[in-house]
Amino acid sequence: MEKDIAIEVKNLTKVYKLYDKPMDRLKDSLGLMRKKKYREHLALNKVNLTVHKGETVGIIGTNGSGKSTILKIITGVLSPTEGEVNVDGHISALLELGAGFNMEYNGIDNIYLNGMMIGFSEEEITKRLDAILEFADIGDYVYQPVKTYSSGMFVRLAFAVAINIDPEILIVDEALSVGDVFFQAKCYHKFEEFKEQGKTILFVSHDLSSISKYCDRAVLLNQGVMLGEGTPKKMIDIYKQVLVGQYPLPKADGENLLDDEEIRAAAAKAADGKSDKGRDKKADNKSEGSAEKSQVRKDSENPDTLEYGDGAAVIEDFFVTDSKGTVTNSIIKGTDFTVHMKVRFNRDVAAPIFAFTFKNIMGIEITGTNSMVEKAFLEPVTAGEVKDISFAQKMNLQGGEYLLSFGVTGFEQDNFTVYHRLYDALNVTVVSDKNTVGYYDMESKCVVTDAK
């Protein structure tokens, strides 16, 4: 393994045996079973992953995709069925918080017990004891048996032990959202400290904003197969296709998902239901626009827009206008603006939902809304109908560059369905001479007077 590599996973496969009866499991373990009486579940299928030292890598995927399984194999909690895992550096893992705690022991005893299980000596734990207690902040309860703790106190203590061990590699599985809001803020602050110190972090979360914010790279798993790896923004966009059942399949068992061109080609194929007719109309619509409008599109449209859907509807046109109704991709902060969409329906839809979303350049969703939330349109449409949709609001985002996405979705027999989506289709620049802290401006009015 090369010196700059912290974690190396090669052809990792994990197969679970699923038994119908506990007795069958016992007989199989004793070698007494003549016939196979179990089903095999492939939790991981020939996964390859390399994490470099100092890198923060996020793993995303649906439930049952193998995210927790791969972390448990890397940390040694589980053994692989096939494949190889190499780790260079001391690991602290936040997997199942509190695993290994003795409920009869008090908090102090469990700190030493858990620390020694991780691999530290009694002296090393003693040096870190004050930091652990300060981080957990559960007061005198630390001297009481753990079985008397509330669930909040329990996870605070478990997190404090794991996070203050000062590892070279930190592995986190959905553990940053424990405790109350103040403790969560403390957890994220510690996480940022680890990043600044150049520690290696492997991070599993369903919180896509955290993946976008903290990770240098993201890995997408689905049903035990590694679909791809790349920038958090790219993987999150593909993950959203996975969630609605519209994504390109791997080429073969264990092969990773495919490069950008293949992804776009497969996404286009998935959206082929919108037909050449829809595409021609979209092109015709653009050509019929004014020269000014066409130039704005040329300047602001993303040539690599991620596009998919089942073709029941087609977003034929989309643009932004300022407070004067002029088509533009630059909006002055504090002024009114409108997001526009034009949608053609290729088949009957019971209740379409029209939506837009603003992301920053890191891929973090900042704001957005849809017609259902706004209670603006809850009616059926028929094939051939064309709808113009507009969302009018005030621009309160901070000055900077943003990406605007559009979508038409709906529910069919209680199943969420994507008819057409255009991710990161349009660049919008917010022009501002006063940026406050954070993503948006609360338009605060500051008044200072002499104290009475």
Whether the per-residue pLDDT at 346 is higher than 50: the answer is yes
Q: Please report which confidence band the pLDDT of residue 256 belongs to, taking 50, 70 and 90 as the band edges.
A: very low
Q: Please report which confidence band the pLDDT of residue 264 belongs to, taking 50, 70 and 90 as the band edges.
A: very low
Percent of the chain at pLDDT above 90?
50
Compute the mean pLDDT over every residue in the chain, rounded to the nearest whole number: 85
pLDDT of 272 reads: 52
- Between 153 and 262, the higher pLDDT residue: 153
195, 191, 141, 196: which is closest to 162 by C-alpha? 191
Within 10 angstroms of residue 181's Cβ, the number of other Cβ atoms is 8
Whether the per-residue pLDDT at 318 is higher than 70: the answer is yes
Q: What number is the average pLDDT over the span 201-216?
A: 87
Q: Which pLDDT tens digit goes with each residue over 139-195?
A: 999 999 999 998 788 888 888 888 887 788 988 887 666 666 777 778 888 888 888
Within 10 angstroms of residue 19's Cβ, the number of other Cβ atoms is 15
Q: Which pLDDT tens digit goes with each residue over 383-420?
A: 999 999 999 999 999 999 999 999 999 999 888 999 99
pLDDT of 274 reads: 40
Whether the per-residue pLDDT at 107 is higher than 80: the answer is yes
Q: What number is the average pLDDT over the span 282-289?
A: 44
pLDDT of 283 reads: 43
Q: Please report which confidence band the pLDDT of residue 294 belongs to, taking 50, 70 and 90 as the band edges.
A: low
pLDDT of 258 reads: 44
Q: Please report which confidence band the pLDDT of residue 358 belongs to, taking 50, 70 and 90 as the band edges.
A: very high
Q: Please report which confidence band the pLDDT of residue 262 belongs to, taking 50, 70 and 90 as the band edges.
A: very low
Whether the per-residue pLDDT at 102 is higher than 70: the answer is yes
Rounded Cα gap, residues 202 and 407, in angstroms: 32
Q: Which pLDDT tens digit goes with each residue over 64-97?
A: 899 999 999 998 889 999 999 999 988 887 776 6
- Listed in order, the ranges of the chain carrying CATH 3.40.50.300 are 5-89+168-243
Q: What number is the average pLDDT over the span 325-350?
A: 94
| Partners of 341 in the β-ladder | 318, 389
So what's the architecture of 272-431 in CATH? Distorted Sandwich (2.70)
pLDDT of 51 reads: 95
So what's the architecture of 5-89+168-243 in CATH? 3-Layer(aba) Sandwich (3.40)
242, 214, 218: which is closest to 230 by C-alpha? 218
CA–centroid distance for 33 within its chain: 44
Q: Which pLDDT tens digit goes with each residue over 168-183?
A: 898 888 766 666 677 7
Q: Please report which confidence band the pLDDT of residue 252 belongs to, taking 50, 70 and 90 as the band edges.
A: very low
Whether the per-residue pLDDT at 5 is higher than 80: the answer is yes
Q: Please report which confidence band the pLDDT of residue 249 belongs to, taking 50, 70 and 90 as the band edges.
A: low
Rounded Cα gap, residues 248 and 228, in angstroms: 11
Rounded Cα gap, residues 172 and 191, in angstroms: 10
Whether the per-residue pLDDT at 131 is higher than 80: the answer is yes
Q: Please report which confidence band the pLDDT of residue 25 belongs to, taking 50, 70 and 90 as the band edges.
A: confident
- Between 24 and 218, the higher pLDDT residue: 218
Cβ-count burial of 177 within 10 angstroms (0-12 exposed, 13-18 middle, 19+ buried)? middle
Q: What number is the average pLDDT over the span 287-311?
A: 73
Q: What is the torsional sign of CA 64, 69, 71, 74?
A: negative
Whether the per-residue pLDDT at 363 is higher than 70: the answer is yes
| Partners of 303 in the β-ladder | none
Exposure string over 50-82, b if 16+ CB within 10 A, otherwise e: bbebebbbbbbbeeebbbbbbbbbbbeebebbe
Q: Please report which confidence band the pLDDT of residue 319 belongs to, taking 50, 70 and 90 as the band edges.
A: very high
Q: Please report which confidence band the pLDDT of residue 295 belongs to, taking 50, 70 and 90 as the band edges.
A: low
In terms of average pLDDT, the best of 16-25, 266-275, 435-444 is 435-444
